[in-house]
Amino acid sequence: MILTGAQILWECLVKEGVTTVFGYPGGAILPAYDAMLDYPSIRHVLVRHEQGAAHMADGYARASGRVGVAVATSGPGATNLTTGIATAMLDSIPTVFITGQVSSLLLGSDAFQETDVTGITLPITKHNALVTDVTTLARTLREAFHIARSGRPGPVLVDICKDVQQARTEFEWPAAPPPLNGHEPSPPRAADLTRAAELVAGAKRPLILAGAGVIRSGASDLLREFAEKTDTPVASTLLGLGGFPASHPLALGMMGMHGEAFVNQAIQRADLLLAFGMRFDDRVTGNLKTYAPEAKKVHVEIDPSEIGKNVAVDVQIAADLRAALAGLLPLLSEKRHPDWRREIDAGRAETHARDILHQPDGGRLFAAHVINDLWEATGGGAVVVTDVGQHQMWEAQYYHHEKPRTLITSGGLGTMGFALPAAIGAKMARPEAEVWVIAGDGGFQMTQCELATLQQEKLDIKIAVVNNGFLGMVRQWQEFFYARRYAATPMLSPDFVVLASAYGIPARRVNRRADVVPAVEAARNTPGPALIEFRVEQEDVVYPMVPSGADLHAMIRRPAEAVVEAQEAQA
């Protein structure tokens, strides 16, 4: 069948199972947009800024595990995607980005809206390709989807010259994805599994570090089986939350910079760390020289270049986590660690007592209250999409996720402005899910233009803007490390209630704890989108905090009396 390059693009997307693309048209991608009208099975979501399209594709992929797709034109269209591409790269999200490029005859001439997009995105994609010949287009797209979803997933960008979109050729879709020699994960080696099982058998204080790999490889059930059989507590990275049910007695919650003190202390005390699908990011380890000094380390990770990068390990298993756990489980015998569990639970109780939820609030509204009450009101079952900053850490601490793919957040890149567009993508991937945005006043303003997209697509997404009048996390660092010199962190915001109304979205403002649950209930009972602005305590701090590069056990903790004192000062 003779087709144009533009038609081949959509044929390939349909064959890859794509039903939704997020994009923004422009000159160099016009032939593709024209052809799109003849492919009604594809739902195109017109965004308000290409960064939003990239985050939507990303959120779509995180919520569903399917490849997310975004489309943009050349030049500024493509450069606007880059923040979203880098976000997907750092968190290993399977995404395909299609950009129009100037005609192949004009390449390198600084033609109108020409930029070297494959050059710009080289370090922030898993792979990219410039297509200058229509006969290679189908194969390139087939390869792009395969690369995006295979092994350690990631973003792939295909830059298609305008004349390629217009040129005609025989359309042949390769039935099998092209072989990628050496790029498929190897099965775990029996000797490594045996060695790991021996370490598990000999451990007295074992601990599982569960990362995003648990979710990506669909290994939650096997992780649970492993933990229960060997009585091993499970700490999670930010991106690993949801991979192990938070209500499980063996669940410790988040580790690292803003992990609870007892979790980090357990890591420092452990004699065996089982790192499952995580990469020992600096936000997780703190000072590497003093990290988990007593522990042997088993590292199961699909990307061999992550093993031994930050932390030296005793057993390395470069394989898909699900395959590795399936191989390990039969080698393990039942274990019980009552002393170790008791030690951890003592720390847990002490942390619990310090928790702001259990301190007098003096009638003030703390972000932790908002998130705790939101968690209760939604029965812990919502898909929560966060932005980046203090509210993100409070979400990780106070919204207890039971299932994989229920927390969607930018971990590695820490991209402010992520939440609203990523939530749009997540809702389109899983229309049946209750989707909540939790964003700060700073990050929300970065991509709030996508409120128009939300309304245009008539999506039932609820939005909680946690407004403390500051770029809170930066202010927190200034408070601790820059002598409270608040350079450029106090922030003026619009009236979010009026702003939402301008987009036809019902909204209300909450200042008091007592109004949180009624507002959440009202939003849940509102058909379609709704926004709640929570005016929270302005200079609250995320505790505990391991200062950047400090020892993991050297945490700054919430002073137990602080709240009481503040209350007295007020009175």
Active site (catalytic) residues: 50, 112-113, 162, 473
Of residues 139 through 158, those in contact with other proteins by CB under 8 A are 143, 147
Applying CB under 8 A, which part among 103-111, 300-308, 354-362, 536-544 lies near other proteins?
300-308
- H or E, element range at 436: strand 435-440
Residue with tokens 């359309």: 171
In the complex, least distance from residue 357 CB atom to other proteins, rounded to whole angstroms: 43
Contact between 174 and other proteins by CB under 8 A: the answer reads no
Contact between 180 and other proteins by CB under 8 A: the answer reads yes
Contact between 37 and other proteins by CB under 8 A: the answer reads no
**Cα distances (Å, whole numbers) of residue 284 to 64, 548, 549:** 26, 10, 10
Residue with tokens 């109304």: 501
In the complex, least distance from residue 541 CB atom to other proteins, rounded to whole angstroms: 34
In the complex, least distance from residue 398 CB atom to other proteins, rounded to whole angstroms: 37
Q: Give the one residue of 46, 105, 122, 353 binding other proteins; rule: CB under 8 A.
A: 122
In the complex, least distance from residue 431 CB atom to other proteins, rounded to whole angstroms: 34
Q: Give the one residue of 303, 345, 457, 539 binding other proteins; rule: CB under 8 A.
A: 303
Q: Which residues have a Cβ under 8 Å from the Cβ of 349 and sit 6 or more positions away?
A: none
Omega within 30 of 0 (cis) for the link into 249: no
Q: Give the one residue of 177, 218, 308, 362 binding other proteins; rule: CB under 8 A.
A: 308
Contact between 118 and other proteins by CB under 8 A: the answer reads yes
Contact between 309 and other proteins by CB under 8 A: the answer reads yes
**Cα distances (Å, whole numbers) of residue 358 to 347, 354, 376, 490:** 16, 7, 16, 29
Contact between 338 and other proteins by CB under 8 A: the answer reads no
The residue among 20 and 121 lying less far from other proteins, judged by its C-beta, is 121
- Written in H, E and C, the secondary structure of 438-500 is EEEHHHHHHCHHHHHHHHHCCCCEEEEEEECCECHHHHHHHHHHCCCCCCCCECCCCCHHHHH
Q: With contacts defined by CB under 8 A, how many residues of the chain interact with other proteins?
A: 18
The residue among 143 and 441 lying less far from other proteins, judged by its C-beta, is 143
Contact between 305 and other proteins by CB under 8 A: the answer reads yes
Entry field: residues in the chain: 571
Contact between 289 and other proteins by CB under 8 A: the answer reads no
Contact between 123 and other proteins by CB under 8 A: the answer reads yes
The residue among 147 and 273 lying less far from other proteins, judged by its C-beta, is 147
CA angle 446, 450, 456 (to 5 degrees): 170
The SS3 of residue 222 is helix
| Nearest CA among 251, 273, 263, 238 for reference residue 90 | 238
The residue among 305 and 501 lying less far from other proteins, judged by its C-beta, is 305
Applying CB under 8 A, which part among 82-90, 120-128, 186-194, 350-358 lies near other proteins?
120-128
Cα 300 from chain centre: 20
CB 104 within 8 A of CB 145: no
The residue among 287 and 310 lying less far from other proteins, judged by its C-beta, is 310
Q: Rounded to whole angstroms, how far apart are CA atoms 509 and 451? A: 17
Contact between 176 and other proteins by CB under 8 A: the answer reads no
Q: Rounded to whole angstroms, how far apart are CA atoms 44 and 33? A: 10
| Nearest CA among 487, 443, 473 for reference residue 548 | 473
The residue among 127 and 283 lying less far from other proteins, judged by its C-beta, is 127
Q: Rounded to whole angstroms, how far apart are CA atoms 133 and 6? A: 12
Contact between 467 and other proteins by CB under 8 A: the answer reads no
In the complex, least distance from residue 309 CB atom to other proteins, rounded to whole angstroms: 6
Binding residues (CB under 8 A) for other proteins: these are 118-119, 122-123, 126-127, 143, 147, 180-183, 303-305, 307-309
